Amino acid sequence: MTASTVATAPAESVRNHRWMQLLFGIICMVMVANLQLGWTPFVDPIDQKYHWGRYAIQWAFTIFVLTQTWLVPLHGYLVDLFGPRIMISCAGALVGAAWVLNSYADSLFLLYVAAVIGGVGVGIVYGGSVGNALKWFPDRRGLAAGLTAAGFGAGSALTVLPIQGMIQASGYEPAFFWFGLAQGTVILLVAQLLRTPEHEVTVPPVRAVEQSRRDFALPEVVRSPPFWVMYAMFVLVGVGGLMAQAQLGPMAKDFGIDSVPVAILGLTLPALTFALSLDRVLNGLTRPFFGWISDHIGRENAMFLAFLLEGLAIYGLLSFAHEPFLFVILSGLVFFAWGEIYALFPALCADLYGKKFATANYGLLYTAKGTAALVVPLANLLPAGTGSWKLVFLIAAVLDFTAALLALFILKPLRKRFIAQQGSPSEALRPHATG
């Protein structure tokens, strides 16, 4: 397990250039984060102007998420075929057009059309940026995928206050128009600098992460048992985290702590506000953190630790959430242990199936996010009323514990067997020795 890649390009030049490529991908991800995470401030102003109702307006968000998620395999195939520069340039135009159209939309139909356009654009940027990071960093895939995904998870934090300020000062239409135009333009410009590696990236041998020597296309991937175990785990953790997060509000209100001030590190906020504020910060921080951990101890081991931590944090909320301080800390752990799925799964997918079709292959795995989003509403079928969140949290904890056990006792041996059956030594790379 000590094979190293063949040096076909000056190592130092490639290593320096790939960090720039990673930065370009992160910038593009930051520029599309608002389309999902910055949507909420627009809902009430739109409703106040047209009186369509929040339910009808929020369907635009649902359409956006479904379009962005379920078309990523197609986007990934096209990015692998034509390269990130062409596809992400097109995505920049789509991202800008979506919010500009939102600024003029005077009917629900136009609002929904803009959601489709934006979903397609964001899907291309998301899949293309993560896929490119996986190709440039065969030795640090966890860290590279985590940093790239963090750009999407935390990117909207940079503009949430300016957007809200413009909405209050000038209305939501100028905010849609000018931020859409700016975001699309930045993506279009940065996309001109994106490239896939023309040569093998030279890295020293390592023992922590096994990688396939072969590149597997989608038809082979869908016939591979490890892929479907990963898919099931992605859904389990996605559903568990989303269900738990959706029930934080009802839990805090039932205990009467939602408005109780909590002070941590000199910052004092109401308990529920504090907990929800931690979401964006920790949801972004966890992606490079656990990605980096997985580069050193292995993907499945990192998954086991993260999923176990989330399950324990969720279960801990059931016992200690009546204490405002512990409510904030434990909910923070839930957020911290959940967002890493967007770093660990793409890294493991590329380890198993190679870099040539990495964007398309992870795109197919990423549809598990859409599957999880469709399953989450089933929680509404559970009994309503005071304390209804208790069963939801128990289910979420069980789902996380199940995924943790699957990672260690099912996926890990399956992955080893899959690589061994290829008839060639697995490729092992040192994640900490490439500068």
Most confident of 8-22, 97-111, 147-161, 229-243: 97-111
Same domain, 333 and 402: yes
Number of folded domains that form the chain: 2
**pLDDT above 90 as % of the chain:** 60
Q: Does 2 reside within a domain?
A: no
pLDDT at residue 281 above 90? no
Q: Does 201 reside within a domain?
A: no
Q: Does 199 reside within a domain?
A: no
Single out the residue of 94, 102, 156 nearest to residue 128, CA to CA: 94
pLDDT for 176 equals 96
Q: Classify the phi-psi angles of 83: left when phi > 0, otherwise alpha if psi is within -120 to 50, otherwise beta.
A: left
Same domain, 388 and 270: yes
Same domain, 332 and 262: yes
Q: Does 334 reside within a domain?
A: yes
Answering whether pTM is above 0.95, one says no
Domain span holding position 176 = 11-191
Q: Which residues in 144-285 belong to E strands, given as ranges?
A: 205-211, 261-264, 267-270
Q: Is the model more confident about 275 or about 108?
A: 108
Same domain, 49 and 101: yes
Domain end: 165, 191, 217, which one? Answer: 191
pLDDT for 380 equals 63
Domain end: 134, 166, 191, which one? Answer: 191
Q: Does 200 reside within a domain?
A: no
Same domain, 231 and 174: no
Region 44-60: what's the mean pLDDT?
A: 92
Same domain, 170 and 295: no
- Given a contact cutoff of 8 angstroms between Cβ atoms, the answer to whether 54 and 47 are in contact is yes
- Given a contact cutoff of 8 angstroms between Cβ atoms, the answer to whether 284 and 356 are in contact is no
pLDDT for 433 equals 35
CATH number at residue 60: 1.20.1250.20
Same domain, 219 and 71: no
Domain end: 191, 219, 251, which one? Answer: 191
pLDDT for 51 equals 94
pLDDT digits (tens, 9 = 90+) for 324-352: 999 999 999 998 888 899 999 999 999 99
Same domain, 215 and 330: yes
The Cα–Cα gap between 153 and 286 comes to 10
- Given a contact cutoff of 8 angstroms between Cβ atoms, the answer to whether 149 and 37 are in contact is no
Q: Does 373 reside within a domain?
A: yes
pLDDT for 153 equals 75
Same domain, 158 and 258: no
Q: Does 407 reside within a domain?
A: yes
Same domain, 166 and 311: no
pLDDT for 7 equals 37
Single out the residue of 54, 39, 26 nearest to residue 114, CA to CA: 39
pLDDT for 2 equals 36
Q: Which amino acid is at 59?
A: W
Same domain, 183 and 221: no
5-14, 192-201, 254-263, 299-308: range with lowest mean pLDDT: 5-14
pLDDT digits (tens, 9 = 90+) for 120-176: 999 999 999 999 999 999 989 999 999 999 998 777 777 777 888 899 999 999 999
Q: How confident is the model at residue 375 (pLDDT cuts 50, 70, 90)?
A: confident
Q: Does 203 reside within a domain?
A: no
Same domain, 123 and 221: no
